[in-house]
Structure 1
Amino acid sequence: MTSVWENLTVDARDPARLARWWAEALGYQITTERPDEVEIRQSADRLPGLVFVPVSANKERKNRLHLDLRPADQEAEVERLVDMGARHVDVGQRDVEWTVLADPEGNEFCVLRPKRG
């Protein structure tokens, strides 16, 4: 027996705002919106989703789990995400081929280069 990956849960000070930001970033849609959780997915019947839940504390450390995004054009995507409110962050990555950004609540994620051949 195996499990099915249903969701990745994200703690958020403002779940609705952060869910909307990620929905725009990923081209997802909001599938559930309640005071205790907001879920986004590519489509209502497609897994996995991202679920944003309220917390009272601010993020204090580097994430132990993060998303990697692989756009067709890394530079253009980084610019788009920064224009949406992401910011460049240094998590000790040094000289690498990906760009580390943080969403509006400080959650790190990586924007990778397109896959080669």
Structure 2
Amino acid sequence: MAARFKDLALDAIDHQRLADWWCAALGYARRQAPAGQPPAPAEWPVPIHDPRGEGPSIWINPVPEPKTVKNRMHFDVWGDTEELLGMGATLIRRRDKEIEWDVLADPEGNEFCVFRPDPYATPVVPLTRR
């Protein structure tokens, strides 16, 4: 084995704001500094995680440049497209005869696909705004 999966990473100009957006969208939380250690400086990457321990950790990394081309890799999520749009996502493409998912972009333009929740899976946690 040459490698083992660790985390996902997502670049953002306003990494603090985008970390809050993805926390609200996914039901994630910011990972806190270990007890007795000071919090990380605001300019450092923001690690977010699934408090239920079911999803991967995501690092929201500060970068100086805006996103300019299509993602080569993206997130697939189960969710409610209309609620995500109401939270500030942008619609790129609706599901149609060719695809069974909606393509959205987060507030910084990072594309992600939204699938209708599987009726046989664990219920989706309702989205909340911060």
Compute the TM-score of the two structures, normalised by the length of structure 1.
Answer: 0.81
Q: Equivalent residue for 2:35? A: none
Structure (1/2) with the larger strand percentage:
1
Tell me the C-alpha RMSD between the 2 structures. Answer: 2.5
| CA positional deviation for 1:36 | 1.5
% same residue: 42
What amino acid sits opposite 1:28 in the alignment? Y
CA displacement 1:45-91 (0-9 Å, x = unmatched): 666211011111110100000010123xxxxx10110000001014x
Aligned residues: 110
- Offset, 1:3: 4.5
Structure 1 residues 116 and 43: CA distance shift in structure 2, 3 A: closer
Where is the helix percentage greater, Structure 1 or Structure 2?
A: 1
Greater mean alpha carbon deviation, residues 30-39 or residues 15-24: 30-39
Is the contact between residue 31 and residue 44 of structure 1 (CA under 8 Å) also seen in structure 2? no
Deviations along 1:21-52, whole A, 9 cap, x unmatched?
00000000000454221011012966621101
For residue 44 of structure 2, what is the amino acid of its counterpart?
Answer: D
